[in-house]
């Protein structure tokens, strides 16, 4: 079998989180070899490339708020930070905000959520229907009692963000290996990995940033990683006329949400609570007309003229409490987790990369991520944060 030598750190998963870890390690002064193993360099099934693209700091758990705020601040400077040879990136992060609409049935819950979000440090405000109309004049608000708005939140271009993170990490010296992990060598701690083509690569530090496929890494390492893949479907639709402004991310009380996209289009999604787990990439081409468009047209009557352009599916990487797994694995020294963000990986990627890098570099963490410790479930300390979509 071939031999790939050794690496100081091997990162499994070259998506936005894995690339962010690599970037932050090298930007933070790490001088050993950083190797990122990605089995699909086309990223055809990458959760990052297929993502909705939202970035918000409206959470109830303090650790989520602080990580999201760190990420928002990073995305505000993203194009300059990710410049390579003087060429800025094109992440297109726009702070149009996140707007949650509350009807009579959800007003109490969202009002209580706002109180808890503010207590955790989130920047958010309650809006009257009149104030909502200043943001989105065309909305039907006959059943809406209030809105919860995060003015610093927004969205970007997921494939461009991924490409920029990867290019910047590579420019600093990260190596991206197109190969598949097939074994993890251990003798009480991580000692190396084997890849299908490259063969054995020695290392004592392995970072799992494999997203929805993280459980496979855990199986190879003999150290369970509680991540389950769940399909999330998205639709791109063309607007019925040229729109004069970009929408915020608007979340209808039904759970249907949308944002502006390029070429006078919007991207639409709805998380289905009953979606069965599994690596499913098939998309229901009829869901737009059947399930989404009626809700959208009730909320904004002109949306009756929306026309579907594309429908696709990606994978959420669901953890048991729908929050990320960040830090050393409790059962295997040398294995570190950066996964399980349950649909919030892109928005948390800058902070996750920095915090994992700080841990590996042995410097004081900017944020205490102990609440996201992978050992919290065995210790009976799951996180409850109901500010999820």
If you write DSSP's letter for every residue of 106-160 in order, what string do you get? Answer: THHHHHHHHHHHHHTT---EEE-HHHHHHH-TT---TTEEEEEEETT-EE--HHH
> pLDDT grade, residue 76 (50/70/90)?
very high
Does residue 2 surpass a pLDDT of 80?
A: no
Average the pLDDT over 73-84 and give the result.
Answer: 98
Q: Give the Cα separation of 349 and 93 in Å (integer).
A: 14
Task: Tell which residue, 78, 83, 15, has the closest CA to residue 44.
Answer: 15
Write down the CATH superfamily of domain 3-84+157-227+321-372: FAD/NAD(P)-binding domain (3.50.50.60)
Spans of all domains in the chain: 3-84+157-227+321-372, 98-152+229-317
Average the pLDDT over 57-82 and give the result.
Answer: 97
Which pLDDT tens digit goes with each residue over 164-222? 999 999 999 999 999 999 999 999 999 999 999 999 999 999 999 999 999 999 999 99
Q: What Cα–Cα distance (Å) separates residue 275 from each residue in 148, 232, 263?
A: 27, 8, 31
> pLDDT grade, residue 304 (50/70/90)?
very high
The CATH class given to the 98-152+229-317 domain equals alpha beta
**143 dihedral zone (left: phi>0; alpha: psi -120 to 50; beta):** alpha
User: What is the per-residue pLDDT for 273?
Assistant: 84
Average the pLDDT over 148-152 and give the result.
Answer: 97
User: DSSP for 173-222?
Assistant: T-EEEE--EEEEEESSSEEEEEETTTEEEE-S-EEE--GGGHHHHHHHHT
Give the range among 13-22, 59-68, 269-278, 294-303 with minimum mean pLDDT.
269-278
Residue 136 CB partners (closer than 8 Å, separation 6+): 99, 247, 248, 250, 300
Which pLDDT tens digit goes with each residue over 336-382? 999 999 999 999 999 999 999 999 999 999 999 999 999 999 999 99
User: DSSP for 225-277?
Assistant: ---EEEEEEEEEEE-SS--SS---EEE-TTS-EEEEETTTEEEEE---TTPPB
Return the percentage of the chain with pLDDT > 70, whole number. 99
Residue 367 CB partners (closer than 8 Å, separation 6+): 63, 66, 67, 70, 351, 355
Does residue 237 surpass a pLDDT of 60?
A: yes
> pLDDT grade, residue 1 (50/70/90)?
very low
Residue carrying structure tokens 């992440």:
91
The dihedral of CA 159, 319, 386, 348: what is its sign? negative
Task: Tell which residue, 16, 49, 21, has the closest CA to residue 35.
Answer: 21
Q: What Cα–Cα distance (Å) separates residue 307 from each residue in 235, 236, 249, 252, 266?
A: 10, 9, 19, 19, 10
User: What is the per-residue pLDDT for 316?
Assistant: 96
Q: What Cα–Cα distance (Å) separates residue 228 from each residue in 46, 154, 355, 383?
A: 15, 27, 23, 17
Residue 285 CB neighbours (<10 A): 13
Q: Which two tokens stand for residue 241?
A: 């006329």
What are 199's strand-pairing partners?
Answer: 195
Does residue 37 surpass a pLDDT of 90?
A: yes
Average pLDDT, the chain: 97
Q: Which two tokens stand for residue 192?
A: 């190396």
User: What is the per-residue pLDDT for 15?
Assistant: 98
Q: Give the Cα separation of 100 and 146 in Å (integer).
A: 9
- Give 22's Cβ-side CA count (13 Å radius): 35
Residue 20 CB partners (closer than 8 Å, separation 6+): 165, 169, 349, 350, 352, 353, 354
Q: Give the Cα separation of 63 and 77 in Å (integer).
A: 22
**97 dihedral zone (left: phi>0; alpha: psi -120 to 50; beta):** left
Q: Are 58 and 122 in contact (CB under 8 A)?
A: yes
Q: What angle do CA 179, 185, 186 make, to 5 degrees?
A: 150
Q: What Cα–Cα distance (Å) separates residue 150 from each residue in 3, 257, 370?
A: 50, 15, 26
């Amino acid at each position: 079998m071939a031999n790939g030598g050794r690496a100081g750190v091997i990162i499994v998963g070259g998506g936005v989180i894995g690339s962010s870890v690599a970037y932050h390690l090298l930007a933070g002064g790490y001088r050993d070899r950083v190797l990122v193993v990605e089995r699909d360099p086309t990223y055809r099934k990458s959760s990052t490339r297929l993502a909705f693209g939202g970035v918000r700091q409206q959470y109830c758990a303090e650790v989520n708020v602080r990580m999201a705020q760190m990420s928002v601040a990073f995305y505000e400077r993203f194009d300059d930070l990710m410049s390579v040879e003087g060429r800025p990136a094109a992440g297109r992060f726009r702070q149009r905000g996140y707007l949650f609409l509350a009807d009579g049935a959800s007003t109490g819950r969202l009002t209580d959520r706002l109180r808890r979000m503010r207590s955790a440090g989130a920047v958010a405000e309650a809006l009257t229907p009149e104030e909502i109309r200043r943001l989105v004049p065309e909305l039907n608000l006959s059943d809406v009692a209030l809105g919860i708005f995060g003015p610093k939140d927004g969205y970007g271009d997921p494939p461009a963000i991924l490409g920029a993170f990867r290019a910047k990490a590579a420019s600093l010296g990260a190596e991206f290996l197109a190969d598949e992990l097939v074994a993890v060598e251990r003798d009480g701690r991580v000692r190396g990995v084997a890849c299908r083509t490259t063969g054995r690569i020695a290392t004592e530090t392995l970072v799992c940033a494999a997203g929805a496929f993280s459980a496979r890494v855990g199986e190879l390492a003999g150290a369970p990683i509680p991540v389950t893949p769940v399909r999330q479907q998205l639709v791109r639709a063309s607007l019925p006329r040229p729109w004069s402004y970009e929408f915020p991310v608007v979340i209808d009380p039904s759970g249907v949400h949308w944002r502006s996209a390029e070429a006078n289009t919007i991207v639409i999604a709805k998380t289905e609570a009953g979606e069965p787990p599994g690596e499913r990439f098939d998309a229901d081409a009829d869901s737009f007309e059947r399930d989404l468009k009626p809700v959208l047209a009730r909320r904004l009557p002109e949306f009756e003229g929306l026309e579907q352009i594309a429908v696709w599916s990606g994978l959420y990487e669901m953890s048991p409490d729908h929050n990320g797994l960040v830090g050393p694995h409790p059962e295997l020294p040398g294995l570190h987790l950066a996964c399980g963000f349950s649909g919030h990986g892109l928005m948390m990627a800058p902070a996750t990369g920095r915090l994992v890098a700080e841990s590996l570099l042995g410097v004081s963490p900017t944020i205490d991520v102990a609440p996201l410790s992978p050992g919290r479930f065995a210790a009976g300390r799951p996180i409850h944060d109901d500010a999820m979509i």
